[in-house]
């Protein structure tokens, strides 16, 4: 496969992994404290990434790359905290897609400034992708949208966008070890917040499988995104990865029976066109 095709496949794989991980993490957060869900899932994800690094024989990068990974982890866990809180309090079909709009914008701006403009068709694809995510996130049901369904996704998107930018810079020479650095930052911050806030450390026993699955899926999403930025552009990788709400929304529809309205189906259709343009 060409580098462009690999970047496209890796970007979409990260979206699927993250979307499924957000669904399982949000589901576990409905019955457990969000701090314990994130902390344990991040620990499990860290163990998974260490095993992957050792299994592939990857050489650890220098301290600057590891430090950038740590910064990415701090931003990412703050975004994850906002997202999981929003998912536990609001509707998954609104909170997750709205956060993805903000997630995509920041890396696209950074890539335009540092890597130059992509092709015209890809720029059009970016625009359609944002429109698609907007349709996925908008609700015409007439139901009142709570503040948690607005400001929490915005904070989540900002945190994830910064994660994209930092992990792109950290993953130049390696994939898994910078992500381990990200986990060191995220687990350290979550442990401190849990300790100072006197929050529960361990989720309920019946939630552990969902928390573990969320941790592994989130780590897989991180790895796929790092691979995508290694072989392709940051903006393309970020926009593709920002389609993660599609998996969350479809799982919420299929398992939790949350209704998908016609704008969300329109968003899916537009997303298919945008993917075709981005792949050109």
Domain ranges of the chain: 3-279
CA dist 113 → 117, 124, 130 (Å): 8, 18, 19
Closest CA to 212 of 11, 46, 86, 15: 46
CA dist 177 → 34, 66, 261, 266 (Å): 26, 7, 42, 40
Q: What is the pTM of this model?
A: 0.84
Instruction: Return the axis-axis angle of helices 63-89 and 34-55, rounded to nearest 10°.
Output: 140
Each residue's pLDDT tens digit, 71-107: 999 998 888 788 777 777 766 666 767 777 788 888 8
The pair phi, psi for residue 233, each rounded to 5°, is -80, 150
pLDDT of residue 33: 77
- Tell me how far apart the alpha carbons of residues 95 and 136 are, in angstroms, rounded to a whole number: 10
pLDDT of residue 96: 67
Residues with Cβ within 8 Å of residue 51, at least 6 apart in sequence: none
pLDDT tier for residue 176 given thresholds of 50, 70 and 90: very high
Distance from the first to the final alpha carbon of the chain: 14
pLDDT tier for residue 179 given thresholds of 50, 70 and 90: very high
- Tell me how far apart the alpha carbons of residues 26 and 169 are, in angstroms, rounded to a whole number: 29
Closest CA to 149 of 96, 100, 95: 95
- Tell me how far apart the alpha carbons of residues 41 and 46 are, in angstroms, rounded to a whole number: 9
Each residue's pLDDT tens digit, 23-61: 888 778 777 877 788 888 889 999 999 999 999 999 888
pLDDT of residue 62: 83
User: Do 247 and 20 contact (CB within 8 A), yes or no?
Assistant: yes
User: Do 10 and 49 contact (CB within 8 A), yes or no?
Assistant: no
The H or E element spanning position 54 is helix 34-55
């Amino acid at each position: 496969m060409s580098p462009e095709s690999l970047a496209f496949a890796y970007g979409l794989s990260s979206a699927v992994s993250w979307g499924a991980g957000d669904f399982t993490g949000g589901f576990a957060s409905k019955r457990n404290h969000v701090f314990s869900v994130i902390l344990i899932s991040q620990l499990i994800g860290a163990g998974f990434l260490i095993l992957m690094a050792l299994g592939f024989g990857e050489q650890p990068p220098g301290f600057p790359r590891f430090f950038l990974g740590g910064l990415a982890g701090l931003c990412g866990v703050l975004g994850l905290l906002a997202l999981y809180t929003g998912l536990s309090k609001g509707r998954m079909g609104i909170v997750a897609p709205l956060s993805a709009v903000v997630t995509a914008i920041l890396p696209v701006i950074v890539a335009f400034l540092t890597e130059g403009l992509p092709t015209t068709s890809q720029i059009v694809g970016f625009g359609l992708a944002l429109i698609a995510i907007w349709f996925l996130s908008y609700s015409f049901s007439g139901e009142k949208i709570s503040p948690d369904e607005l400001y929490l996704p915005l904070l989540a998107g900002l945190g994830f966008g910064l994660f994209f930018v930092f992990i792109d810079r950290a993953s130049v020479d390696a994939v898994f070890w910078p992500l381990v650095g990200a986990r060191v930052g995220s687990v350290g911050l979550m442990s401190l917040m849990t300790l100072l806030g006197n929050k529960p450390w361990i989720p309920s026993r019946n939630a552990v499988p969902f928390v573990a699955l969320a941790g592994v899926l989130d780590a897989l999403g991180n790895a796929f995104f790092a691979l995508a930025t290694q072989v392709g552009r940051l903006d393309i990788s970020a926009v593709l990865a920002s389609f993660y709400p599609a998996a969350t929304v479809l799982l919420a529809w299929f398992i939790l029976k949350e209704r998908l309205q016609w704008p969300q189906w329109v968003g899916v259709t537009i997303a298919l066109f945008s993917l075709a343009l981005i792949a050109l």
